Structure 1
Amino acid sequence: MEAVLNYFETIPSHHRALIIVGGLTFFWLLEGIMPLFGKPYKRWKHAVPNIFFTITTILVNLPLAFLLLKSSDWVMVHNFGILNWLPEMPLWLYAIVGLLLMDFIGAYLPHYVEHKVKPLWMVHLVHHTDHNVDTTTANRHHPLESIIRYVFTLVGVFVIGTPIALVMLYQSLSVVATQFNHANIRLPKRVDAILSYFIVSPDMHKVHHHYRLPYTDSNYGNIFSVWDRLCGTFMTLDPDKIIYGVDVFPDKKKNGNIGELLKQPFQKYDKPTMHHNR
């Protein structure tokens, strides 16, 4: 564990980029071998807006990374945050506790809030208006959402007292986990169910992308499934019954257009819906 943390403490930017590209490529190929939904769609055309938003996510996070570094240095120097107030523990346990807490404040919590606060929901909609969820959907986030998520991660560093090695390890695991649980892959049901007790599995997360409540407001987790189970937001649904998308923005063509997606958070819809009547 010490070697792992030492590596992530000074992980080069190109290694982080390699993790993103490598994970995307691996799950993209896997989707072709064992797809969950075999119905044909133009995968390359579908990927274009999603890759665009992956790039904007990287561009938003890169210049702000120094704030994570400075904040992490500060909490360690001043012995601030939950991890620094806990009794001494083995390094492996310290890392697991840190990752669990980062996953809660940096992923579960902002995701939950985005679904409950209408202006934030409008920003998050861009992620939900994908009609063919696959591994490229993982980072389909409006640039405004990238900033929102970043703020929560930054707060997490202060509250938890996270060293930079754990921050970088968490972000790397987070990228691969979200690529995995968005991937259009069919695992054996028993394997997926067992995985869902520990991590967010593909079948578990796909429930969250169903277009109707209450399923849309469930399974908010990113890496670990424990937070959904503890907070009462865990739900199951047969994958064959899942329909992707959002009924307030049903136009598939517009939902695949980068310009329309950038404007989406600022558009109004009038009619009450069965999805989100807010």
Structure 2
Amino acid sequence: MIQAGLGHYAIAIPALLLVLLASVEAIWPRRALVLGRNPRWRTHALFFLSNAIMGRFLSFLVVVGVAANWANVHHFGALNLAALPFWVEAAIAFVILDFAVWFQHFLMHRSPLLWRIHAVHHSDRDLDVTTALRFHPFELILSTFYKSAIVALLGVPLLVALAFETWLNANALFNHSNIRLPRKLDRILRLFLVTPDMHLVHHSILVDEQKHNFGFALTIWDRLFGTYRIESILGSESQKIGLAEIDDARPSGFIWSMKQPLT
């Protein structure tokens, strides 16, 4: 019952943020969209539904919440070996999980096989809040098992695991959004958090720039490992988004996007 209740919050909070950011984008967009909202939004909605269905099937095997609950019941994982205050466990778990997500993203750009899957996300020629939904089900499967393994090995408490998932999804929606932040606010926020302008660099058509700014939430890992870049060499206003080899409307189509890793 507790897990179900927490799960509802983990869905409701990002859903409300999605609506809020989409509304702000419509009023104060950062950039003009190349392909527009339709049929991109329809395609991204279908990605969301496909991943929701896949997530339902995965729940019979393992999900982050199940992994956390299993670790707690079996007193398994590094955090269960020491009697630490809950807030200390939460802080340690958040930092390590955030690094784990950064490292997974880093590997997605280094492995040719993983890149074929992740390239579906990068093939979007625009960047807005719905791009955060554009992940191939193959990537969802890999990510779910990867994060679940980390959660189990750490022995992350259930509440912390679900809170981190909510935090991660909320940040992904925020930094993919097409909103214009005041430059001073952007500079302050990106001392700690990935901002839309910072993540914009990562979606450049230039391959070198795609290998920078891997963070989804915290910026510390890109700064620490030398993959931080302030903005595109083309400038944030002139930077093109997507993949250099795809300059048409194909990424707006759901079927084409689903077949992309296999082509």
Normalising by the residue count of structure 1, what TM-score does the alignment of the two structures yield? 0.85
- Find the aligned partners of 1:41 and 1:249 in 2 and give their Cα distance: 13
- Find the aligned partners of 1:22 and 1:86 in 2 and give their Cα distance: 37
Aligned match of 2:27: 33
Q: Aligned runs of 1:222-233 on 2, under 5 Å?
A: 222-233=216-227
Aligned match of 2:42: 48
Aligned match of 1:94: 89
- Aligned residue pairs: how many? 258
- Find the aligned partners of 1:132 and 1:193 in 2 and give their Cα distance: 23
Q: Aligned runs of 1:5-20 on 2, under 5 Å?
A: 9-11=3-5, 13-20=7-14
- Name which of 219, 227, 234 aligns with 2:213: 219
Query: Any idea what the Cα deviations from partners look like across 1:68-99, whole Å, max 9, x if unmatched?
Result: 3442233224433232345624x333222211
- Name which of 76, 79, 104 aligns with 2:75: 79
Query: Any idea what the Cα deviations from partners look like across 1:213-269, whole Å, max 9, x if unmatched?
Result: 321011111121112122221112142132101012333x211111111111011xx
Answering whether residue 263 of structure 2 is matched by residue 263 of structure 1, we say: no
Deviates more, 1:70-79 or 1:223-232: 70-79
1:129 deviates by 0.7
Three-state SS of the structure 1 residue aligned to 2:39 is helix
* Closer/same/farther in 2, CA of residues 65 and 173 from structure 1, 3 Å limit: farther
Gapped regions of structure 1 (runs ≥ 5): 1-6, 268-278
Assess if the C-alpha contact under 8 Å between 1:8 and 1:168 holds in 2: no
Highest RCO, 1 vs 2 (Cα 8 Å, sep ≥ 6) = 2
Q: Could you tell me which amino acid in structure 1 is paired with residue 181 of structure 2? A: L
Assess if the C-alpha contact under 8 Å between 1:102 and 1:160 holds in 2: no
Deviates more, 1:232-241 or 1:39-48: 39-48
Normalising by the residue count of structure 2, what TM-score does the alignment of the two structures yield? 0.90
Q: Aligned runs of 1:1-278 on 2, under 5 Å?
A: 9-11=3-5, 13-38=7-32, 41-65=35-59, 67-68=62-63, 69-85=65-81, 88-89=84-85, 91-105=86-100, 107-237=101-231, 238-251=235-248, 253-267=249-263
Deviates more, 1:256-265 or 1:237-246: 237-246
Gapped regions of structure 2 (runs ≥ 5): none
The percentage of aligned residue pairs carrying the same residue is 29
Assess if the C-alpha contact under 8 Å between 1:46 and 1:256 holds in 2: yes
